[in-house]
Amino acid sequence: MNFKTPRPRRLRSAHSSLNAHGEAWVWLTGGSLALAIAMITGLLLFIMIRGASTFWPAAMELVELKDGRAVLGEITGREDFIDRSNGTAMHVARKLVRTANFDITGNHYEWFDEGAIASTSRPEWGTAVERMEGGRFHGFPLRILDKERVVAEGASQTWQAFQEMHPAARKRFREALWIDRHDRGALQRRLRAARLAVVQADLNAGRESRAYLSAVVAEKAVIASVAEQSMALDAKTASLRDQNAGWGVEFVTASGEKTILPLALIVRAWQPNRLSTAGKCGVYFSRWWEFLADDPREANSAGGVFPAIWGTVAMTLIMALLVAPFGVLAALYLREYAVRGPMTTAIRIAINNLAGVPSIVYGAFGLGFFCYVLGASIDDLFFKASLVADNQPTFGTGGLLWASLTLALLTLPVVIVATEEALSAVPNSMREGSYACGAGKWQTIRRIVLPRALPGIMTGLILAMARGAGEVAPLMLVGVKKLAVELPIDGTFPFVHPEREFMHLAYLIYDVGFQSPNSQAARPMVFTITFLLVAIIALLNVSAIWFRSRLQRRYIAQHF
């Protein structure tokens, strides 16, 4: 083709538009990212600061009011509000003081109008005491008593004697507690196992059978040996408790009430106004240690969260172990084997929709299917004795295994979708190259496709773990309990007990924050638990990401 008169070439403008440079879009995209980052870091920082500062020993303030009352406490907040009580609106500032001494005043915290405060000071001997029961106590040490006998008198002597005697008393107390909780628990379990063996023999073979008779004999032997051992334990705990009995520290509160606190029931005491920074750090870390390593006390609002950490990590890992093979295999079939058509499209849409089903529905399904159908059949087959004798299901109720399975189901869509993405990102030319070498389908998948897709699959797994670890609603139905100090792993046969109920940090947040009888005292704990949960999830993710980047370096190098 040729034109008679060639069309003149269009002259292009010498100026380039803003659009061509893309500045507007840089600002828009960068701005939305900045907004997202600001919100996320804001939230995380808030949680972190509140969570990390919970255990810092704050200064002890003696607040003297104009009406003559005096309280000793930590000032934890201040706010301006409008007081309309006198008919006219007035701006008033008030302070929130953690007054403690719930058993005396009926409050943990109290608000004081700034106008009503005569003076505040930081008395040297102001002491904060954490007790086993009854919450915190604030006061001044008076003397140490052994029943009626005064052992030490006066603040400084009392404090010195307290610090000398407290660790030993505490050790005895904990030893007795450990015996009660764990050693006696083990004996109880042995008794129960022997009793159930009898019931089982009855069920299996009837009362006339040899098996039944020998089970009865065995039970008698167990009862005898348990009785003997429990006598020994009784003697031991009695002696431990005797040594602690009668020892007490007498305190006087700011308002003048005198109270004797049993020495062994004091978890720890500190005098923040006398502590150096190093000393404060000592208190801080000892409280963190208790938090991480101990069992909870006082309806979870104090003490540690160790069982919950254990439960969260175990459940998340078991869930990942369950969901990974299922999700990857399902995605492999869908992407590599299934013939593409309306059927696969429908399945894909269904899977994507599953990701949007409310998690409580999964919980209900887990309870209905795993616990009541699957678990009940397992009980029927293997654990009938417990059901008959104690009317107590073994697998037929919520537990670690069922919770992990439920969450695996919940996160399955995430893993399938991510795996499918990763598989479809494997270049077809690699598959063809492998087939051209004479490899079969499975060889190609195993040697070429899966290794290349592994980093993407890991991404899916990381997302699934993060989602699963933060889930609460379905867990409430399938095995998470407010308090379950018995870990699903212990020294009694068969050592692993996946049917046991467990504790979970996310549920603990809900429980401590919203179910606690005294939410204000528990609030600092909520932040700390949240902080811990976020940290654990971050730790799991970071290790998975580290693993993934190692894989990535091996399988997806850049080239030009």
What is the contact surface with another protein in residues (CB under 8 A)?
339-340, 427, 429-440, 443, 447-448, 451-452, 553-560
Rounded to a whole number of angstroms, the minimum distance from the CB of residue 1 to another protein is 14
CA dist 259 and 135 (Å) reads 14
Contact 182, 233 (CB under 8 A): no
Minimal distance, residue 2 CB to another protein, in Å: 15
Nearer to another protein, 207 or 554 (CB): 554
In the bound state with another protein, the residue whose beta carbon lies nearer, of 81 and 333, is: 333
Residue 338's φ and ψ, nearest 5 degrees, are -60, 140
Strand partners, 293: none
Give 31 or 440: the residue with its C-beta nearer to another protein: 440
Distances from the Cα of 295 to the Cα of 56, 308, 323, 364, angstroms: 20, 9, 30, 29
Which residues does 294 contact at the CB level (< 8 Å), separation at least 6?
303, 304, 306
Helices and strands per DSSP (H, E), number in the chain = 19, 13
- Closer to another protein by CB, 181 or 447: give it: 447
Closer residue to another protein, CB minimum distance, 240 or 426: 426
Question: Which secondary-structure segment (H or E) carries 238?
Answer: helix 210-244
Nearer to another protein, 13 or 429 (CB): 429
Question: Minimum distance from CB of 320 to another protein (Å)?
Answer: 24
Pick the closest to residue 452 from 554, 542, 537, 350 (CA basis).
Answer: 554
| Sign of torsion over alpha carbons 289, 292, 293, 298 | positive
Tokens of 270: 């500190």
Name the CA radius of gyration of the chain, rounded: 32
Q: CB of residue 550 vs another protein: minimum separation in angstroms?
A: 12
* Residue (256 or 341) nearer to another protein, CB: 341
* Nearest distance in Å: CB 433, another protein: 4
d(CA 421, CA 351): 13
- Least distance CB 333 / another protein (angstroms): 17
Q: What share of the chain is helix, strand, coil (3-state, %, to 5)?
A: 60, 15, 25
What HEC string does 341-357 produce? CHHHHHHHHHHHHHCCC
Closest approach, Cβ 205 to another protein, in A, equals 53
For another protein, the closer of residues 453 and 525 by Cβ is 453
